[in-house]
Structure 1
Amino acid sequence: MASTPSWKLIFVALLVLEMWASQAIARSLQDASMVERHEQWMGQYGRVYNDNAEKAMRYRIFKENVEYIETFNKVGTRHYKLGFNQFADLTNKEFQASRNGYKMSSNQNAPKASSFRYENVTAVPSSMMKLSED
């Protein structure tokens, strides 16, 4: 009798290990597919990274953005869909910093503009004639 529960335990343990292994394989295939998508995207937009560390970081951001876009489009509650473009490897903050706002030049020798173009005019007519609209 003591051997029967141990066989059940071994069977359950093997079943759990098999499930973990199949999930790991599926995850590896998804990662390989995502790496391929990233490589294709890099080629399409001519993206080249300085080193493997930067490439790994940009891949992670790209993957998160792809997952967000796919999830957003699957929900289908909007009248539009999201797509991929040359900014797919940027975080929201990076994109906003590169695209929003005017950046003043650091040139300190630029002439200062006055607040009112005619502020120093002294010869002003005493009256203005209204032209008739006949």
Structure 2
Amino acid sequence: MKKILVVLLLFTGAIGLAQEGVKVKGNTITVKESAPVWPGCESSDDKKQCFNQQLMQHIKENYKYPRNEAGDFLRGKTTVALAIDEKGSVVVRSVKGENAKINEAAETMIRKIPKMQPGMKGGKPTSIKYTIPLTL
């Protein structure tokens, strides 16, 4: 009777400590990951495509072309490294490009990305990193 009780308690403890989105099969551990979800894409069938469309729309609507001393619009390339943190907020890690004014305008535009549902890893919120090359 004691053996059955011990086995039952061990089984109950193992179920209580199990993680959502983690599978163990032999020596292989599989962790389910999901990307951040842009506001309004929660019910979309293809959340990745919706995320990309919303990001492109955000860039079109929020990027303000800087001007040089002569008043002409500046164009160029820049690369933005960012992360969507555990709370769903955007954190700009770096902005690299040849023109400082373009870099500053790109960073300002990226900081305006709305707060979103964070990415998940093993059932827990996690920071997801992105690198976006922009030709503006």
**TM-score exceeds 0.5:** no
Pick the structure with more helix per residue.
Answer: 1
Give the TM-score normalised by structure 1.
0.29
Choose 1 or 2 for highest CA Rg. Answer: 1
Identify the structure with bigger relative contact order (alpha carbons < 8 Å, sequence gap 6+): 2
Q: TM-score, normalised by structure 2?
A: 0.29
